[in-house]
């Protein structure tokens, strides 16, 4: 087969990873986005709803356990888990918005101490005020996340960052990012509702059955995450609308499932695997500063790599379509000669 008729080679995953990290090394200032966000969550006043959550926990876990020892043990463990969560919850962590947002290590760690001592705690006593604070933080985080994504996209694909262009495109990008977030919210709400009913019903029967239901529920989330992984990328690389970007992400994942699945798994292993290392440092140690810096570099590098992979894979799929269209007439002609 001649070079002209040879099937185009698919993009290489490791090459995309290397190009992405090289781009961030050349534009190292971009890691300030996740780094500064973690410093804000760490040192800024912590806004808590501990009192509100403790009241909800007390009311929710006051139901009778029907003299079921296994269920009683499950309820006790859940109560303790939610009590610890109420102690550590910081509304400022809502600045880490999804699916487009600035990466943050401490939004999941939620430290309650710093090397300078305990941070200032601000108790939010009204549910309405708590909702407004969370909504405000989410919107601010989303706006900053759009700027972050757009800048990393430019650095990864064009080896430069034009801030005027980022700001000029900002309103359009924010609009479709909000629409994308609503799409994600609707999908995950539907799955969560189904999973919640499944787990609750199973827990009333048997603890082992509840664990199986939780495993199925986790699988559903994982199954949804793969096709949606690149749903923001079409907005930032191809100026596609939210619905179109979701469709392109699902289509690309379906047409290149093994290779794209490998990239997604590798990206998760790099970020989540290193997060285990970053989280070793205690919140009251300056070693955590090394952790948040390393986390900022790695996650920004992986994000840049994902833009490189998305563009290369999209281009390859188009080339494959053109190649097949050229090969089909050739195939018919060969069959005619053989007949």
Average pLDDT estimate for 237-262:
91
Residue matched to tokens 């070693």: 287
Average pLDDT estimate for 228-254:
93
Write down the pLDDT at residue 38: 97
Q: 111 pLDDT exceeds 50?
A: yes
- Asked if residue 160 lies in contact with residue 23, where contact means CB atoms within 8 angstroms, the answer is no
152-188 in b/e form (b: 16+ CB < 10 A) is: bbbbbbeeebeeeebeebeeebbebbbbbbebbeeeb
pLDDT level of residue 76 (50, 70, 90 thresholds):
confident
Query: Where exactly are the structural domains of the chain?
Result: 13-49+89-318
Q: CA 291 to CA 297: how far, in whole Å?
A: 10
Q: What is the pLDDT of residues 187-204, one digit of tens each?
A: 888 777 776 676 666 666
Q: 1 pLDDT exceeds 70?
A: no
Residue matched to tokens 């006043």: 45
Q: What is the pLDDT of residues 278-288, one digit of tens each?
A: 999 999 999 99
Write down the pLDDT at residue 333: 44
Lowest mean pLDDT among 58-67, 87-96, 132-141, 253-262: 58-67
Q: 339 pLDDT exceeds 60?
A: no
- Of 130 and 211, the structure prediction assigns the larger pLDDT to 130
Q: 66 pLDDT exceeds 60?
A: no
- Asked if residue 84 lies in contact with residue 13, where contact means CB atoms within 8 angstroms, the answer is no
Lowest mean pLDDT among 70-79, 104-113, 230-239: 70-79
- Of 221 and 279, the structure prediction assigns the larger pLDDT to 279
Percent of the chain with pLDDT over 90: 62
């Amino acid at each position: 087969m001649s070079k002209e008729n040879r099937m185009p080679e698919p993009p290489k995953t490791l090459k995309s990873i290397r190009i992405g990290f090289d781009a961030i090394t050349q534009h190292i200032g971009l890691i300030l986005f996740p780094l500064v966000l973690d410093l804000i969550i760490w040192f800024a006043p912590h806004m808590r709803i501990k009192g509100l959550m403790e009241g909800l926990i007390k009311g929710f876990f006051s139901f009778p356990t029907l003299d079921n020892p296994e269920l009683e043990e499950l309820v006790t463990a859940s109560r303790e888990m939610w009590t610890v969560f109420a102690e550590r919850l910081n509304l400022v962590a809502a600045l880490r918005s999804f699916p487009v947002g600035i990466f943050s290590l401490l939004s999941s760690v939620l430290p309650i101490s710093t090397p300078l001592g305990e941070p200032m705690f601000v108790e939010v006593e009204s549910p309405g005020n708590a909702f407004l604070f969370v909504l405000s933080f989410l919107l601010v985080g989303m706006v900053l996340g759009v700027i972050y994504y757009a800048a990393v996209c430019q650095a990864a694909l064009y080896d430069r960052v034009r801030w005027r262009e980022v700001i000029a495109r900002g309103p359009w990008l924010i609009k479709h990012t909000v629409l994308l977030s609503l799409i994600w919210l609707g999908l995950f709400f539907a799955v969560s509702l189904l999973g919640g009913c499944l787990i609750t019903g199973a827990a009333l029967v048997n603890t082992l059955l509840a664990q199986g239901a939780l495993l199925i529920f986790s699988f559903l989330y994982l199954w949804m995450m793969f096709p949606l992984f690149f749903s923001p990328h079409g907005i930032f690389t191809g100026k596609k609308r939210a619905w179109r970007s979701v469709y392109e992400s699902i289509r690309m994942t379906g047409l290149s499932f093994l290779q794209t699945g490998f990239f997604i798994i590798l990206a998760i292993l790099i970020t989540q695997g290193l997060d285990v290392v970053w989280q070793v440092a205690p919140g009251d140690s300056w070693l955590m500063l090394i952790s948040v810096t390393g986390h900022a570099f790695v996650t920004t590098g992986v994000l840049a790599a994902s833009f490189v992979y998305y563009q290369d894979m999209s281009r390859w799929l188009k080339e494959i379509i053109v190649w097949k269209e050229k090969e089909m007439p050739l195939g018919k002609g060969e069959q005619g000669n053989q007949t």
